[in-house]
Structure 1
Amino acid sequence: MVDLKQMLSRFLSVPGVRQAILVGRDGLMIEGMSREGKEDIEAVGAIATTGFSAAEALGQEIGRGSTVGLLLEYENGLVSVDPLGDFALLVTLSDNASNIGRVRHLVKASRNEILEALDIA
């Protein structure tokens, strides 16, 4: 079985990805890795959880179904939040949107392996 740090390092190997954080739906960090360490990864994970909860509430309110992902684009970067089952989220922080397709593909390809490593598959 692959460990979580090894799994998250795959995301950091994507050019432009600065952080990969696995966080519980309660906002507590499970594991996180940072290329540079400028941002507090625990705070980023916790705040991303809150943002994802708001996106879920909005989806329910407007009747658009379950939230399958959240992309937040800023002047100097992109935050992607992807649900992994009912208990965890994967948060990635990128310099720009140029490799978001690669990140999304890696999330999809790694989902079951991450859930297995978390022992919630």
Structure 2
Amino acid sequence: MVDLKQTLSRFLSVPGVRQAILVGRDGLLIEGLTREGKEDMEAVGAITTSGLSAAEALGREIARGSVVGVLMEYEHGIVSIDPLGDFALLVTLLDNASVIGRVRHMVKASRSEILEALDIV
């Protein structure tokens, strides 16, 4: 059986990743780990579902297809939102853009493992 905390801890092993949060599409926290604990994981998870909904609506409006991922860049870091099927999202908070490629690769490599742990494969 896949341990979600162990899977998410791999993301935190990447220098520059501050949080890795698994959240349901309803905004409820499933599991999460944080390096520093400054941001409220439940609030981050809930708010990012709204951000993804807006991105999905935009994709439909401009006929660009389904959302593969969302990156939001702020003055002091980046938030990455990756849909995992119809029921969950993986949200990662990054200090800067230098680790985006590595994190996106880890999301793709971990996708089936996470879905299996959630029993939605």
| Structure 1 gap segments, 5+ residues each | none
Task: In structure 2, give the amino acid aligned to 1:42.
Answer: E
Distance 1:80 1:90 in 2: 8
Counterparts of 1:1-121 in structure 2 under 5 Å? 1-121=1-121
1:56 deviates by: 0.1
TM-align CA RMSD = 0.5
Task: In structure 2, give the amino acid aligned to 1:67.
Answer: V
Distance 2:53 2:7 in 1: 25
Distance 1:114 1:29 in 2: 14
Contact map agreement 2:23 2:29 (CA 8 A) in 1: yes
Task: In structure 2, give the amino acid aligned to 1:5.
Answer: K
| Structure 2 gap segments, 5+ residues each | none
1:2 deviates by: 2.1
Distance 1:41 1:56 in 2: 22
1:84 deviates by: 0.3
Following superposition, which runs of at least 4 residues in structure 1 exceed 2 angstroms of deviation? none
Q: Percent identity?
A: 83
What SS is found at the alignment partner of 1:119? Answer: coil
TM-score (norm 1): 0.99
Task: In structure 1, give the amino acid aligned to 2:112.
Answer: N
Deviations 1:9-29 (A, max 9, x none): 010001100000000000000
Distance 2:14 2:86 in 1: 26
